[in-house]
Chains A and B, each alone.
Chain A
Amino acid sequence: MDNETSQRDLITAYLLGELSEEKSDKIEERYFTDEDFFTEVLQVEEALILAYQEGTLPPAKSRKFETRYLRNPALHERWLVHASLHDLARQYRQPEKPIGSSTLAKPSIQTTGSPQVDSSLTAVKDNRLRRRRQDQAQSRPGLWIAAIAPLLIIALIPTILLFRTQNQRAQEQRQTADEKEKLNQTINDKQNEIATLQAEIDRNRMLQTGSATVATVILGGTRSSSGNPDQGNALQISSDTLLIKVRLILPLEPEDASTTYKILIATGGKTVLERSQLRPQKTSEGPGISYTFLPEGLAPGEYKITVKRMTPTAGDIDINSGVFYLK
């Protein structure tokens, strides 16, 4: 067994929970310190899920896969998206696949029902066709060019000699113009360099002051910063902010130390982010909870923050809310 296969087998065993703690720790330390290895683990996971979908996993591994990936919520989610993307790609790629295959139980579709997705699938297909044609054009042997090239060269020799002197003169004139152009280009490059360095200085200044990198929305307490949408003064946050932090200062210490909280972020009546099981932490203003998230993928608009206390008997109880505007 070569090293590559052995490494893939080891990673597969890790993903299926078959390794000892010591061996697992080694794999984990490696993917934290070696990005290439981390992406390899991701690829092995993808291949594992694909093998399961296609029914090519050995029975023992298949059972292990089901126990881990299909019964654990977080891993189930990973299986779900991989499996769905494979199914979509397969349907779109193989229109002639017969009915009754392991993952495809009816004839393929050429449309998904969503104009945006169909348009993207067509764009991907067109790009692939274009690249294939380009490759074919570049690799054509062109034997006919090789056959007539010597004859063409012989015929063109007198013409070439005639134009040589004229070309030499034109070349000298071009050289002077080229030198001038090079000088102008150098000036432009230096100016761009200065502008880039200035931007870097500005960025570092911003980074040091913390502005435009992290935005904090404070609910409750004396420093509440979320606005009131009815008064049109929702807190404005730029969409190029790296992280948004929501903080709620609780009025009192919770009576029960095991009390947990939930924060929901919604827009247009739809929850887009949710974090539960948040525990209170000490702050200078009293007990508080916080939730930091990346606004990646959030569209500009108004967002409502709702904070709930999670109770085992009475369900989730609303305790505070706020808004911010992502611009």
Chain B
Amino acid sequence: MKDDSFNEEALTGLLTRLHSGKEEAGNLYKDWHTRLVAHFVWKGVATPEDCADEVLHRVGEKISEGVEIQNLGSYIYGIARNVKREYYKKDIFDPLEKNDGIRPELTLKPADIGEVDERLACLTRCLGGLSARDREMLLAYYADEKNIEPRKQLALSLKISVNTLHLRVHRLRQRLGKCINQCLNQRETN
């Protein structure tokens, strides 16, 4: 078992390193978490959030030990690579490269009416669980997915940068993804 020296102090140290303001630190923490989850998903890791938590946990530990970090992004990436290697060795996760993560029962081309309807029904239900503000932002984002200009206008109207808009939408999609999956599984068993 590895030693758990992670405590609130380490986590607070990480947050302070990110920003002196609580709200800004929180937002940056969420941004890093989002980026890590995306990274582990793209690497085919089965539980990307666990790995993301582990990476931030370790970074917090190092900061609380007094390690000086010049480039936080590079440091976090280095830790992410270590975490990924460790989990591949333990065979807990099924990386795409090993072809162990393939689940043939997942639909390849859900092109028939029933599947699209079910997805949309679940999406509608899950959208209902978001706040009106988040829901409208998401729907406005997808109102014209092929053009950049409407999204720039949307970011302007929300008084945020386009990057921040992309990240917020990405986080909402992560939440929706889990919700839709759960909903579809429930419909399957009913």
Residues of A within 8 A of B (CB): 14-15, 17, 28-29, 31-36, 38-39, 41-43, 46, 50, 66-68, 70-78, 80-89, 91, 93, 102-106, 112-114, 116-117, 119-121, 123-125, 127-128, 131, 200, 203-204, 206-208, 210, 212-214, 216, 242-243, 245, 257, 275-283, 287-288, 290-292, 294, 296-297
Contact = CB atoms under 8 A, between A and B. Distances in A.
Contact of A76 (B16, B106, B163): B106
A28 B39 contact: yes
Contact of A72 (B96, B139, B150, B176): B96
28 contacts: A14-B42, A31-B35, A32-B35, A32-B74, A32-B76, A36-B163, A50-B145, A70-B107, A71-B106, A72-B101, A74-B40, A77-B178, A78-B41, A78-B177, A81-B174, A83-B119, A85-B138, A85-B176, A86-B142, A119-B132, A120-B135, A207-B25, A213-B12, A213-B22, A275-B50, A278-B50, A281-B4, A296-B30
B142 A89 contact: yes
Interface residues of B, number: 95
A72 B167 CA distance: 23
Interface of B: 1-4, 6, 8-9, 11-12, 15-16, 20-22, 25-26, 29-31, 33, 35, 38-42, 44-50, 53, 57, 71, 73-74, 76-77, 80, 92, 96-97, 101-104, 106-109, 111-113, 116, 119-125, 127-128, 130, 132, 135-136, 138-140, 142-146, 150, 153, 157, 162-163, 166-167, 170-171, 173-178, 180-181, 184
Contacts of B173: 78, 81-82, 85
B124 A114 contact: yes
Given A28-B77, A282-B2, A116 B139 contact: no
Contact of A33 (B71, B97, B104, B136): B71
B1 A281 contact: yes
A74 B33 CA distance: 16
Top 9 A-B pairs ranked by shortest CB distance?
A281-B4, A33-B73, A32-B77, A77-B177, A89-B142, A84-B123, A39-B166, A81-B177, A32-B73
Given A84-B122, A124-B140, A124-B143, A210 B9 contact: yes
Given A43-B166, A128-B143, A112 B175 contact: no
Contact of B112 (A66, A105, A112, A212): A105
Given A80-B119, A83-B119, A242-B22, A71 B103 contact: yes
Contacts of B108: 66, 70-71
A123 B133 CA distance: 11
A207 B92 contact: no
Given A46-B145, A74-B48, A29 B116 contact: no
Given A38-B35, A68-B44, A282-B3, 9 more contacts: A17-B97, A28-B77, A31-B39, A42-B170, A74-B46, A124-B140, A213-B12, A276-B47, A283-B4
